Amino acid sequence: MPEYRRILLDGAAVQVTVEGDELVAGDGRRVKTGDALHLPPVVPSKVIAVHLNHRSRVEEFRIDLPDTPTYFHKPTSALNSHRGAVVRPEGCKWLNYEGEVAVVIGRTARNISPAEAGEYIEGYTIANDYGLHDFRDTDAGSMLRVKGSDTLCPLGPGLVTDWDFRGKTLRTYVNGEVVQDGSTDEMKWDMHYLVADIARTITLYPGDVLLSGTPANSRPVQPGDVVEVEVEGLGRLTNHIVTGPTPVRPDVGAQPTESEEVLSTALGGDWEFRGIRPPRR
């Protein structure tokens, strides 16, 4: 399966091909994978994510899925890359990882069927759909700051074509320990369905990204933690958590909170009242 990456090479963004432990540019220049400064593997005009899709995640929250998927938008300013730093703003506490498979569009798609959707997919990459749940009380509807704050959308390490999404394992690690362990087979809506559903009313352009949902056990991480998402056949996306250099401004807008809505979402099945007082959805 061919894998393409984007790296910063001699000051320019360059697409390279993976050959063993080297990355090879079109003009023949080579760089060791471990030495490369990675960029997001694609340049999307938009990033769209499904709220809930994995059976284990739904069971963890003790809720029922709707008949059809619901979505939110992550602005492109949230994009991050393999080995990039994920910033938890000073004054915030509830930053959660969410390991996912990301679909990358290859052809302009509009009003297509699920059976046709595969023809419009360029390939797949790995995503970590971080959530800053400190802002969930005010942004639960749009998820704008929760999921769209700067650095909260790492993609990578590369774009893999000719990858079959069926029956693939997905694991997330924090400091080397497995914290999420799921499979694409537990998704209610597969990649083709998601692409066709969005493309009914929203034109998808080459490079656009759809995030397909996370399995159970999304939990908060702390500055200094190393978070890795491994997907069978797609590799491993690695990031580390840092504290932002400045606090969230206190003189404008909603401030970070620690309500039951925040805690129930950030702590998932570990929330002490799970099953006694269900969170608001």
> Tens digits of per-residue pLDDT, 155-191?
999 999 999 999 999 999 999 999 999 999 999 999 9
Q: Are 200 and 71 in contact (CB under 8 A)?
A: no
Report pLDDT digits (tens) over 236-260: 999 999 999 888 889 999 899 988 8
Q: What is the pLDDT of residue 276?
A: 63
Average pLDDT on 253-274 reads 85
What integer best gives the mean pLDDT of the chain? 94
Q: What is the pLDDT of residue 61?
A: 87
Q: Are 108 and 205 in contact (CB under 8 A)?
A: yes
| 3-state class (DSSP) for residue 172 | strand
Task: List the alpha helices (DSSP H) in the chain.
Answer: 55-61, 114-117, 136-139, 144-148, 191-199, 260-267
Pairwise CA distance, residues 156 & 36, whole Å: 13
Pairwise CA distance, residues 36 & 188, whole Å: 37
pLDDT tops 50 at residue 57: yes
End-to-end CA distance of the chain: give it in Å, rounded.
Answer: 40
Q: What is the pLDDT of residue 281?
A: 46
Q: Are 126 and 212 in contact (CB under 8 A)?
A: no
pLDDT tops 80 at residue 280: no
Which candidate, 232, 212, 72, places its Cα nearest to that of 145?
A: 72
Pairwise CA distance, residues 51 & 100, whole Å: 12
Q: Which residue has the higher pLDDT, 154 or 261?
A: 154
Q: What is the pLDDT of residue 167?
A: 96
Q: Report cis status (omega within 30 of 0) of the bond before 223.
A: no
Pairwise CA distance, residues 167 & 165, whole Å: 7
Q: What is the pLDDT of residue 272?
A: 72
Residue found by looking up tokens 């929330």 in the block? 271
Report pLDDT digits (tens) over 74-128: 999 999 999 999 999 999 999 999 999 999 999 999 999 999 999 999 999 999 9
Average pLDDT on 276-280 reads 54
Q: What is the pLDDT of residue 274?
A: 67
Q: What is the pLDDT of residue 37?
A: 97
- Going by the DSSP 8-state scheme, the letter that residue 223 receives in this structure is T
